[in-house]
Amino acid sequence: MRIKNQQDFWSGIMFVLIGVGFALGATKYSMGTAARMGPGYFPFWLGTCLAILGAFVSLGATSKKAEETTVEKFDFPIVFILLGSVVLCGLLMNYLGVYISVFLLVFLSSFASHV
């Protein structure tokens, strides 16, 4: 089994892990039945579906028809710009209001595309 499309493979693995996490977390709530759903019913099946779809994506990345791609290096400046603009928006929300804070969020986040 050779991984031809690394982006699809690793994103599928991420979906499987998130789906399994949600399904396991939902088991702490009562499940109920399909007719009388409990609070854990929907998150359990949503996590299960996400895990199954992630498995299909990962398996599709190993097929002969998959296009060959590699995962590029992680770009830390973009992450810092985006996280910084979100944190700044949260800090300035009480002082400047919603409109100006969200405008600054969008304006500062736009610099991430130019890095």
Distance between CA atoms of residues 51 and 11, nearest Å: 11
The pLDDT of residue 115 is above 70: no
SS3 of 60-110? HCCCCCCCCECCCCCCHHHHHHHHHHHHHHHHHHHHHCHHHHHHHHHHHHH
Tens digits of residue pLDDT in 31-87: 988 899 999 999 999 999 999 999 999 999 888 777 777 777 888 889 999 999 999
* From 6-10, 89-93, 107-111, the region with the lowest mean pLDDT: 6-10
The pTM for the full model equals: 0.67
